[in-house]
Amino acid sequence: MTGRQLVFELGARPALGRDDLLVTPGNSDAVAWVDRWPDWPGRTLAVHGPAGCGKTHLAEVWRAVSKAEVVPPSALADVTAHMGSLPTAPAFVLEDAEGGADERVVLHFLNMLRDCGGSLLLVSRRPPARWSVSLADLRSRLRALPAVAVRAPDEATLRAVVVKLFADRQLQVSEDLVEFLCLRIERTFQAARETVAALDAAALVTHCKVSIALARQVLGASCEKD
């Protein structure tokens, strides 16, 4: 087992009061699109990808910049009813958009938003062009939306993210620990954040350094020797 310390160069930006947004090969296209706002075609963008890939974090970064309101699909009808009375062009984040509201309500919302010059960030697991939509007008609108994918991190990115998360907490870790973790946790940013936070908390409670032995306890891994 080696004790080498790891250093990775990752693109990062302040997330306006939230944790740093890591710019990785999996989300760089989406970050570039968010940076283009308000210069989006139709002032609307769809961001899609698997659970835990960082879509919500990216949406929060845009929300902070655009002052957008987060709207659940169940509230679309109420929001649409009051949209015409808003004093300025509104901005909205619609998460879990696929199949979450009546199709006619969604179409009316999109039409009203276009008429008042508002902005919209749609967040979903699948691109809107692949949603199962019966209403022809809505299907046409969704297929015309610019859509960008956020991909789950690959192995190299996950390792770099884990190192960065430890560094953010001023914790130096060995290559062996990073390898141990990345072989056992789910390959998502959320899993990496939760694992690093749990290890940091456990180290504070036990007054131990962050190590493979501590990781075994936190993850419930077997106690076989390396």
pLDDT digits 0-9 by tens, 194-204: 999 999 999 99
pLDDT digits 0-9 by tens, 169-219: 889 899 999 999 999 999 888 899 899 999 999 999 999 899 999 999 999
Instruction: Tell me the H-state helices in the chain.
Output: 28-36, 55-66, 76-83, 103-115, 136-144, 155-168, 175-182, 189-206, 212-219
3-state secondary structure of 119: strand
Asked if residue 166 and residue 63 are part of one domain, the reply reads no
pLDDT digits 0-9 by tens, 56-71: 889 999 999 999 999 9
Q: Give the tokens for residue 178.
A: 């990073």
Asked if residue 130 and residue 55 are part of one domain, the reply reads yes
The number of folded domains in the chain is 2
pTM of the model: 0.75
Region 134-140: what's the mean pLDDT? 95
Asked if residue 69 and residue 90 are part of one domain, the reply reads yes
Which domain covers residue 208, as residue numbers?
153-219
Asked if residue 45 and residue 117 are part of one domain, the reply reads yes
Q: Please check the confidence at residue 140 and state whether its pLDDT lies above 80.
A: yes
The last residue of a domain, from among 149, 175, 202: 149
Q: Tell me, what's the pLDDT at 92? A: 96
Asked if residue 157 and residue 53 are part of one domain, the reply reads no
The last residue of a domain, from among 149, 168, 188: 149
Average pLDDT taken over every residue of the chain: 85
The last residue of a domain, from among 149, 164, 186: 149
For residue 87, name the pLDDT band (cuts at 50, 70, 90).
low
Asked if residue 187 and residue 125 are part of one domain, the reply reads no
User: Tokens 């954040």 correspond to what residue?
Assistant: 193
Q: Please check the confidence at residue 46 and state whether its pLDDT lies above 70.
A: yes
Q: Give the tokens for residue 73.
A: 């699909």
